[in-house]
Structure 1
């Protein structure tokens, strides 16, 4: 179940004002841009204040798992699928002195995703892959804006059965992901805007990556960064 889309008029009211004054339209565009920037900054700040300590704890758990040979499996639908692929790419190929970590996006193999969708059903596209490849101690990392996607819920349930560390990112009030009670580290972005949710989630997973790299460095698993 996906989150409802915002009406276009609420996102870009200056397009529906009916005016023909170019200066007025440009002023409205500038103000809209400033308002959106302020909104996302405030939202990110609220997430940091509420979940900063929990993010640090999650990163510590992920670092310990990676240090023990764990692998990261990421998944999501639509825009969240591209975010899941970004998470995997970030951990796998960080560049610089950061430690590359084994990470796989469950949305990347189109043949597997379409085969499972066609032969069984779309709700199993993540759980079946985790059943085949996941093992105890690995990390399952799922992203959703609504928190209600059935295939994510099934994926997290399978990950829990296999003793995997589970990390979830959701929006709104967390939806069914919050109701599961089995996601070890759940971060909910308290917004009803899909755009603001995804922007804040990007900040969250980049922060988790940085914190995990720092934790690995402290464990002696990553060489210190070179001075410029």
Structure 2
């Protein structure tokens, strides 16, 4: 097999990093830290690859960003509860799978984060709309043209790249950068189990 496709993808990914809006990432990091300080919940969600990223982020903050802290992050991925997802999708609609869960748990001191490459995933849009109606802070990570999510969210981290795989890659980079910023803020030289802040090859 020809490895040109690999090189082309990696080169495109490297170039796309420059499209990450660092000021908006900092704004989201600040919102996550303030939610933590208020002992609020951080709810995160997405579909498909974005759902996998949401699950990854919740794991990072439940363990990685919380290890060594007396007060822990309450980061909950609401696409992880499969029985709830299937029941809501079957009995109400797939477009309601996130909104209906937020109605059970979310309150004014929380933060609701939606991930959608297109920015137009109806279930994510509906969840953000409901959260805003309850005066809950919202954030969205999107790609392409940003879609409805970018318009709705209080904090919009929009990466204008028309390539779903690269958008998904960069969304995870955004959260890893936020985790690093927050752990350095809270833990300084003791950034949690497994955290290595030296990228040099050993």
- State if a TM-score over 0.5 links the two structures: yes
Secondary structure in 2 matching 1:147:
coil
Distance between the aligned counterparts of 2:184 and 2:135, measured in 1? Answer: 25
C-alpha separation between the residues in 2 aligned to 1:30 and 1:98? Answer: 43
**Cα deviations by residue, 1:107-164 (Å, 9 ceiling, x for unpaired):** 1111111111111111111011111100102111111111101110010011112222
- Tell me, which stretches of 5 or more residues in structure 2 are unaligned? 197-202
2:140 and 2:150 in contact (8 A); partners too: no
Q: Which moved more, 1:96-105 or 1:121-130?
A: 96-105
Query: What is the TM-score normalised by the length of structure 2?
Result: 0.86
Query: Secondary structure of the residue that 2:190 maps to in structure 1?
Result: coil
Residue 151 (str. 1) matches residue 126 (str. 2): no
By how many angstroms is 1:44 displaced? 1.0
Paired residue secondary structure (2:64): coil
Distance (Å, rounded) in 2 between the aligned partners of 1:42 and 1:98: 36
CA distance in 2, matches of 1:152, 1:52: 23
With over 3 angstroms needed to count, the CA separation of the structure-2 counterparts of 1:43 and 1:98, relative to structure 1, is: farther
What does residue 5 of structure 2 align with? 32
Q: Which runs of 5+ in 1 are unaligned?
A: 1-25
Give the TM-score normalised by the residue count of structure 1: 0.77
Aligned twin of 1:3: none
**Of 165, 174, 196, which aligns to 1:204?**
174
Residue number in structure 2 paired with 1:213: 183
Cα 1:82–1:171 shift into 2, 3 Å:
same
Q: Given the alignment of the two structures, is residue 225 of structure 1 paired with residue 195 of structure 2, yes or no?
A: no
Q: Which residues in structure 2 correspond to 1:36-115 (within 5 Å)?
A: 36-47=9-20, 51-94=21-64, 99=69, 100-115=72-87
Larger Rg: 1
How far off its partner does 1:90 sit? 0.8
Task: Write out the 4+ residue segments of structure 1 that deviate beyond 3 Å after TM superposition.
Answer: 95-100
Counterparts of 1:118-197 in structure 2, within 5 Å, are 118-180=90-152, 183-197=153-167
CA contact (8 A) 1:75 1:106 kept: yes
Distance 2:65 2:128 in 1: 30
Deviation at 1:223, TM superposition (A): 6.1
